[in-house]
Amino acid sequence: MGIALGTPASAELVAFKVGTDRAGLGRLMRLWTSDIVALTGGRPAPGDTAPELAVANKGLTVTVGFGARVFELTGQKPSGLDDLPVMKHDRLDPAWSGGDLLVMVGADDAVSVVHAVRRLIADAKPFATPIWRQNGFWDSTGADGKPVTGRNLFGQVDGTGNPAVGTPEFDETVWSKTPDWFRGGTTLVVRRIRMNLDTWDELTRSEQERAVGRKLSTGAPLTGTAEHDELDLEARDADGRPVIAPNAHARLSHHSENDGRRIFRKGLNYVHDTGATRESGLIFLSHQADVAGQFLPLLARLDAADALNEWTTTIGSATFALPPGFQPGSWLGQSLLG
């Protein structure tokens, strides 16, 4: 899943437990580099047992992240990458949390994702074992074929406040500068958020919009008419109350309410079926240069007061460092493991 690219229609995240040393990890990264170059180029990976699926891939991207164990082996952990503290509203399940390595695979169709993930897991077997897998989907294309922000399963336009890709604001928000091996990389927080759709449906539309601080129809702030209008956090209604409530998600997450801190967020809707029972939610993905400096203060603020806490519960959490991309002739993580 390319960071600066749009969210793919289908994606899978796989976290691994590392069972090798630094040299073995380097061998795995070289194997994965060969796989990634081949698969994203529409060619079979070495040893591919279903080469036709590789040739037919649609918009395939692969991103790899390093977790705590990698930095125990190398001693070069980026600052602020410690595991997040458990928040008051969290109900974390180890089945969806942690990990030493992460692979994120995205594409415009699920078959391409499934095939690429199978190849990457197969090559990892001597070195690392999957500990959780999360599958998600997203629709970021409008009826006219043009890109749109996309909606979560509450029906909300989700991700409006992101800094625009390619701007200095985006670069400052996302890309890390230290340590040297990590320059041009970024950090990732993965949060699996269970959403109670049934109790959300019990609200009136105006109650839903008040909790979010935005109009469900367009994603516009309650003080505006278009999705990307700026929030007017000083606006009052006829009774003197803030139009955007003090506990509205849009207010609490806005950079002006967080000492200018920003993140670059993406999301994947998910459903998880067990027999006749379905769980629905959001795989929340936050990119930032520094987890502790940018994401954690925002998370604490939302946990303390966000109106949406009544209908959402975080059940999984993990943090990773995503190394800079590799150039032809080099391999993934070479500046750290080489």
274 in any annotated domain: yes
335 in any annotated domain: no
Q: Quote the number of domains for the chain.
A: 1
Summarised one tens digit per residue, pLDDT across range 134-156 is: 999 999 988 888 889 999 999 99
Catalytic residue selected from 100, 123, 158, 290: 158
CB 300 within 8 A of CB 87: yes
Count of CB atoms within 10 A of residue 16's CB? Answer: 22
Question: Which residues span the domain enclosing 226?
Answer: 10-140+147-328
Structure confidence at residue 208 (pLDDT): 98
Summarised one tens digit per residue, pLDDT across range 205-257 is: 999 999 999 999 999 999 999 999 999 999 999 999 999 999 999 999 999 99
Whether the link from the prior residue into 246 is cis, omega within 30° of 0, is no
Summarised one tens digit per residue, pLDDT across range 47-86 is: 999 999 998 888 999 999 999 899 999 989 998 898 899 9
333 in any annotated domain: no
185 in any annotated domain: yes
37 in any annotated domain: yes
**Pairwise CA distance, residues 261 & 170, whole Å:** 12
SS3 assignment, position 70: helix
The yes-or-no answer on residue 83 being catalytic is no
**Pairwise CA distance, residues 106 & 254, whole Å:** 28
295 in any annotated domain: yes
334 in any annotated domain: no
338 in any annotated domain: no
CB 219 within 8 A of CB 212: no
**Pairwise CA distance, residues 162 & 6, whole Å:** 12
* Bridge partners, residue 105, by sequence: 12, 62
Indicate the range of 8-17, 78-87, 185-194 predicted with least confidence.
78-87
Structure confidence at residue 171 (pLDDT): 97
